[in-house]
Amino acid sequence: MLFNSFEFAIFFSVVFLLYFLSYKQLRAQNFLLLVSSYVFYGWWDWRFLSLIFISSISDYLIGLRIDKSENTAVRKRLLLLSVFINLGILGFFKYYNFFAESTVDVLNFFGFQSNPFFIKVILPVGISFYTFQTMSYTIDIYRRQMKATPNLLEFMAFVSFFPQLVAGPIERAKNLLPQFGIKRKFNLSEAKEGIKQSIWGLFKKIVIADNCAQYVNHIFENSDTLPGSMLLIGVLLFAFQIYGDFSGYSDIAIGISRILGFNLMQNFRSPYLAENIQDFWRRWHISLSTWFRDYVYIPLGGSRSNSKIRRIYNIVVTFTVSGFWHGANWTFIIWGALHSLFYLIQNAFSNLFGQNTKRPISIPKPLSIVITFISVTLAWIFFRADSVAIAIKMITEILSSSLFVNPVPYLKQFGSFAQPFILIISIGYLALFELMNRNASYSFQVSSFKIPIKQLAYCSLLLLIIFFRATNGKIDFIYFQF
């Protein structure tokens, strides 16, 4: 059940009505959310509801035991049990075949002939997201950063909360879980803001991402027959596709949650206006980057280590594991490793030529933004390509003389230029609001506009959403595969 589907519109309308009719009874509201979330998730494949149930029950019970125990060794063993259960489920469904194939490749390389034993495993939607969300709960209890909740209903509703269940934001229990213990009445001003943010998210998804997808899919699927100029267009469009797709989902999730009386964390903040890679990760998929910071990077020692080699190791491991979180393919691992390389280059430059050095070099902000965008876009090639070989071949072609081949004859095969023209205008529309509101909770802020302009902005968004939804149909969100 996709946010951009008619089924979801009907589903949410029913949930909304029943939810606020039961506002006087908190348990009834939470029970409705739990049932609704299980229906929402079961719409894809009801068999995987058992995985959410197992994660919820095990972490609820383990959390209570950790909280009550004063024995450090017992607490640690319980935490390891929680991590083992959660990563065991995630590892089997997402990474088994990857490790099986990689092991066989290594054995064959050393002369031991063997064949991999593959299992036909369907990847459960959103498993990486809710696994990290429930894991952070037991880790925070172990660190005594929060108390375990005795309320099973609230905890199960927290783990399976449908707006952010399958693609985030990855919420911390400290933020979201207490909100299930508060009665939630309908708040008109919050609902209005939620609707606005959801509309903006639908615009990003349906108008930007889904239109980019048509060109991106064709270009990447036929990369071996296209010149560098077309490949560059495909890569640039993918940069906007994945941003529109993923940040669009987050905006819809946050907007829907606001309508229901919940506040989720901001997940994107104009990432393509970042001035360096570190700034990019403060703005891109914030809930994941802060998760890896708090539960991987800092526990490894972070930047506090006295050893330069250790600090480099901490950065490389964190980014590489982050890449592997996205998918069981070497392309994602290289994507993460590339970001660690960019991060290390940035640190080295700051140490040599920063403002507090003997030879400070000041790079103009616009140039810093362009360099960062080019670096991020280059890495996206590995993220999108089906294999490392294809990604390398695409980069080689882009850097060749075919980069200067006229792309217009190739673009004509897509038919009328009307749709790409509207797409370019829409990307410009998005970029304008990103520039105007780069640090806002979401970029579509029009409250300061005069009423006619404000109405025109809303109407244009809605018309574009309706037109392209009817033209393109419903297309899955990219991050559902993670």
**Does the structure show a pLDDT above 80 at 322?**
yes
Task: Spot the catalytic one: 218, 285, 326, 339.
Answer: 326
- Decide if pLDDT at 109 tops 80: no
Kindly indicate the confidence band of residue 459, based on its pLDDT and cuts at 50, 70 and 90.
confident
- Reported confidence tier of residue 227, pLDDT bands at 50, 70, 90: very high
Q: Tell how far CA 29 is from the center of its chain.
A: 28
DSSP state of 479: G
Which of 225-234, 239-248, 282-291, 301-310 is predicted least confidently? 301-310
Cα angle 84-98-295, degrees, rounded to a multiple of 5: 40
Predicted confidence at residue 122, as pLDDT, reads 81
Instruction: Indicate the domain borders of the chain.
Output: 6-185, 190-481
The predicted structure's pLDDT at residue 411: 82
What pLDDT digit, counting tens, does each position of 63-95 carry?
999 999 999 999 999 999 999 999 999 999 998
Q: How many angstroms separate the Cα of 467 from the Cα of each of 198, 204, 427, 461? A: 17, 14, 16, 10
Taking Cα atoms as reference points, which of 223, 166, 153 lies closest to residue 51? 166
User: Which pTM does this prediction carry?
Assistant: 0.92
The pLDDT value given to residue 447: 60
Q: What is the mean pLDDT of residues 129-152?
A: 96
Name the more confident of 310 and 411: 310
- Give residue-wise pLDDT tens across range 261-280: 999 999 999 999 999 999 99
Mean pLDDT of the chain: 89
Q: Which residue has the tokens 């990604």?
A: 391
pLDDT by residue (tens digit) across 180-216? Answer: 999 999 999 999 999 989 999 999 999 999 989 989 9
pLDDT at 100 > cutoff 80: no
Q: Following DSSP, what letter does each residue of 64-125 receive, concatenated?
A: HHHHH---HHHHHHHHHHHHHHHHHHHHHHHHHHHHHHHHHHHHHHTT----------PPPT
Confidence band (pLDDT; 50, 70, 90) for 367?
very high
Q: pLDDT digit string (tens) for 380-418? A: 999 999 999 999 999 999 999 999 999 888 887 776 666
**Half-sphere exposure at residue 209, Cβ-oriented, CA atoms within 13 angstroms:** 23
| 3-class secondary structure per residue, 255-274 | HHHHHCCCCCCCCCCCHHHC
Tell me the average pLDDT across 230-247. Answer: 96
Contact 218, 394 (CB under 8 A): no
What pLDDT digit, counting tens, does each position of 14-66 carry?
A: 999 999 998 889 999 999 999 999 999 999 889 999 999 999 999 999 999 99
- Cα distance between residue 215 and residue 353, in whole Å: 41
339 is catalytic: no
What is the sign of the dihedral through the CA atoms of 176, 182, 186 and 187?
Answer: negative
